[in-house]
Structure 1
Amino acid sequence: MKTFALAALCAAAIALPAAAQTAGTTFVQAGRVLVDPASGKVETQKTLVIQGGKVVRVADGYVSEPGGKVVDLKDRFVLPGLIDSHVHITGQQNPNSRLEEVTQSGAEQAMVGARYARKTLMAGFTTVADLGGDNEAVFALRKATALGDVPGPRIVAAGSAISIHGGHGDVNGYREDVMHVLRPESVCSGAADCSRAVREQVWKGADVIKITATGGVLSNTAAGLGQQFSDEELKAIVDSAHRMGRRVTAHAHGGDGITSFLKAGGDSIEHGTWLDAEGIALLKKNGGYLVPTLMAGDFVVGIAKGPNNFFTPAQTAKALQAGPMMLDMTRRAHQAGVKIAFGTDTGVSAHGDNAGEFALLLKAGMTSLETIQAATVNAADHLQLGQVAGRLTPGYSADLIAVDGDPTKDATILTKVGFVMKDGVVYKAE
């Protein structure tokens, strides 16, 4: 009886009319579309055929089938969903940031992150890399967005950053007993201890290892912006991560820290404020990416110089030192042929404003198409998602956005995204 029932069901499925067989198919009819940003070719009157959250076909003309869902974007410009390679999704700088650090639980941070994840997705960013946050909060949010329980981008998560004791990724500026409670286990001293910290982060769920190779602007300590790890520690971190299948990206401002990290085999540089000729040569030799985060530099200078400066004296001094350097650094790196991936350090600036980075990259001498490539194919390659995101060719995730105008001529148009689809699901349709 069971065999007969199963056979009958199979026969019924085979006999289903075409309308039922295409019920799970979406046809996105695009007036103009940048299917593969690497090519730079803008195509017209195309239909993206989507099944199971992926692009399965790019058809000429405007096609559809009975029973399928049609998304009419004939008057829009369609391109892959944007990728931000550097965010902090579970928080945002504000006058109460230091208080929040000691009052918010990991669960509360995850809830805050859910709100910011939605803002990020609505802004057209369908993938982000979260580079430094509470392990429990960001890993839970990563899972929730992947399952679709929380509307948000695909999240590549580092969790807690690897830092030296007293360094940029440690807790600074509170009472000693408070700092001991808040200090993450990813803080380390000595090569062996730093290997331990890397292994524990991988064990806890890190997709990528993020380290603070130099001092940083927003740590409340007057410890400068130069190299903080020893060369031996850097080598131990990189080797340990690579042996466990993880890439290593470094928060790095000072040229000494940049060079030492890259000589140790590090994979990519975040910020890169004092990137010099040697650092540029090493990045090119290693095939590494620079993630300039120009919005972060612009934001901290604005706060430090503004009438409502909420930074501490140590933060203010470093903001005024580093912020003005970042635009020219990016210009020099781009002229030298360094690979650039789009990243903003959002969480320093406001979530949802990520696309403001495009205008700054244009000021640094990149073309509009180059900035789009940085936020799609380059960022996907950098995050090891080169077969998943960044393109709209068959087999790739159906992550796409639509805007008015032509962003390959003026990338600032991307601050006004009117349509967002992630994994074949429409989240925004103005």
Structure 2
Amino acid sequence: MEYMIRGKKLVTVSKLDTIKDGAMVIKGGKIAAVGQWSELKESFSGIKVLDYSKYIITPSLIDCHTHLLEFAPTSLYPVTAETHFLAGKAILFQALSSGITALGEQICGHPQCDFSIDDYRKAVKDFPMDISFAATSISIGFEQLAHFTSVTQSKSVSQLELTDLKVVQEIAEESDYPGENIFINATPANFTEEQVPRAGQIIYSFEELKQIADTYHKLGKKIGAHVAGEKGIEMALDAGIDVLHHAQGINDELAEKAAKLGVHIIATPIGGTHLLPNSPEEILSLMENNIPVSISTDAYLPPHPDASWLPFNDRSLKGPDTLMAIARPAMKLLHDYGYDENVLLAMITANPAKLLRKDKKFGRLEAGLDADFLVAEGVPGLEITENSDIKKVYFKGKEVINRVRK
């Protein structure tokens, strides 16, 4: 299948930057050429043209930290083991219709779901979305801490078992990318404050954390951690953690240290830890320190009640369909500080693609990459936040969502 698509402008998130009156040539699900419409129409005369010159063309979106297949179905629907993955696919479709064609999905172990990480992989192998799985352990901040792992599935484990290097190695071997592999702080998850009084408690000693990080590195893998607060973040950086998920409460000194170590940070403006979520100002500070930042939903979560920058009036669980809305306050602030739209859009496209170790496949509009792109009313997050403003979604060159009806 070969065609050319024309747009009012292409925000490429690549060295090509923004191309006004631009076009892309798609061949076999890949981007074959990107450039000015006036040039490509001469070089590829005779090829079918899809004229969307009223719209903006951008890479499709990436939500690199989610819990859509394991925890979301039981949080949102009255599922059983028989219907669990039906609900999961419905949730994935909602993400797809929101412009998201790639996910970083966490598999933590769930007391009601005795599924292996391979079960999750098989359930979605034919879904039109690229899903990377992070195998993890998790500690939930109930009065009596609850610990689970992806490899022990629905069976709870003791805190001592979390540091069993055989278990750690098995988790590391099953993980596709440095997701939320360990929880340095106990998580509130999506429970109320009263239900999780020990949320935020540090689970590991520094020595344990260092051993776990070394186990990943000996396997040639990077490790990511759920962490918040100055003490936990400092421990993570000193222990060699490669990716900080949340990093809420990071100070300037630790941000500078993270930058020197080449650490990637996944900001979650909606919540995710016991502390105030990543504010637009905190994300600006991270960017000013030249830290690679991705913005993610950590869905499904209730919005933090004190996150005044969020556009929500209730505390109902929010999903990946809110990615543009929660990214916008930071993107707008950064834009006011002079950051280019390509740099801003990278936080929900190219940066998470690199985190997922898929930057040679997607995340930018660039020749040789998969043709994963959006046809939209504006730049996602910066200019638009309503999913209805995403008119078409393409995955590997195929149209998978269409809101333009003739």
Could you tell me the TM-score, scaled by structure 2's length? 0.78
Return the offset for 1:191.
Answer: 8.2
Return the offset for 1:372.
Answer: 0.5
Unmatched 5+ residue regions in structure 2?
A: 147-151, 302-317
SS of 2:298 mapped into structure 1: coil
Select the structure that is richer in helix.
Answer: 1
- Which stretch shifts more, 412-421 or 267-276? 412-421
SS of 2:244 mapped into structure 1: strand
Q: 1:169 to 1:184 in 2, by over 3 A?
A: farther
Match in the other structure for 2:268 = 293
Q: 1:211 to 1:282 in 2, by over 3 A?
A: same
Q: Tell me which structure has the larger Cα radius of gyration.
A: 1
Q: 1:415 to 1:256 in 2, by over 3 A?
A: farther
8 Å contact kept, 1:259–1:278: no
2-side partners of 1:27 and 1:296: how far apart? Answer: 41
8 Å contact kept, 1:34–1:42: yes
State yes or no: 1:374 paired with 2:352. no
Match in the other structure for 1:177 = none
Match in the other structure for 2:17 = 41
RMSD (Å), alpha carbons: 3.4
Aligned with residue 214 of structure 1, among 160, 185, 209: 185
SS of 2:400 mapped into structure 1: strand
Aligned with residue 404 of structure 1, among 377, 384, 400: 377
Unmatched 5+ residue regions in structure 1?
A: 1-23, 175-179, 298-317
- Which stretch shifts more, 24-33 or 287-296? 24-33
Identity over the aligned pairs, expressed in percent?
Answer: 21
Return the offset for 1:326.
Answer: 4.3
State yes or no: 1:360 paired with 2:329. yes
State yes or no: 1:168 paired with 2:146. no
Return the offset for 1:65.
Answer: 5.7
Could you tell me the TM-score, scaled by structure 1's length? 0.74
Aligned with residue 220 of structure 2, among 224, 242, 245: 245
Match in the other structure for 2:75 = 97
8 Å contact kept, 2:141–2:196: no
Match in the other structure for 2:166 = 196
Return the offset for 1:46.
Answer: 3.0
Return the offset for 1:192.
Answer: 5.6
8 Å contact kept, 1:80–1:391: yes
8 Å contact kept, 1:235–1:265: yes
SS of 2:197 mapped into structure 1: coil
1-side partners of 2:239 and 2:134: how far apart? Answer: 20
State yes or no: 1:236 paired with 2:218. no
Q: Deviations 1:274-299 (Å, cap 9, x if unpaired)?
A: 212342122101111111110236xx
Return the offset for 1:247.
Answer: 1.7
Q: Deviations 1:319-370 (Å, cap 9, x if unpaired)?
A: 6xx2367455334333433321121112222232222122232366455723
8 Å contact kept, 2:34–2:366: yes
1-side partners of 2:334 and 2:8: how far apart? Answer: 29
8 Å contact kept, 1:142–1:154: no
Q: Deviations 1:195-239 (Å, cap 9, x if unpaired)?
A: 222221244454445111112222643224142211122112111
Aligned with residue 57 of structure 2, among 78, 86, 111: 78
Q: 1:267 to 1:44 in 2, by over 3 A?
A: same
1-side partners of 2:142 and 2:214: how far apart? Answer: 22
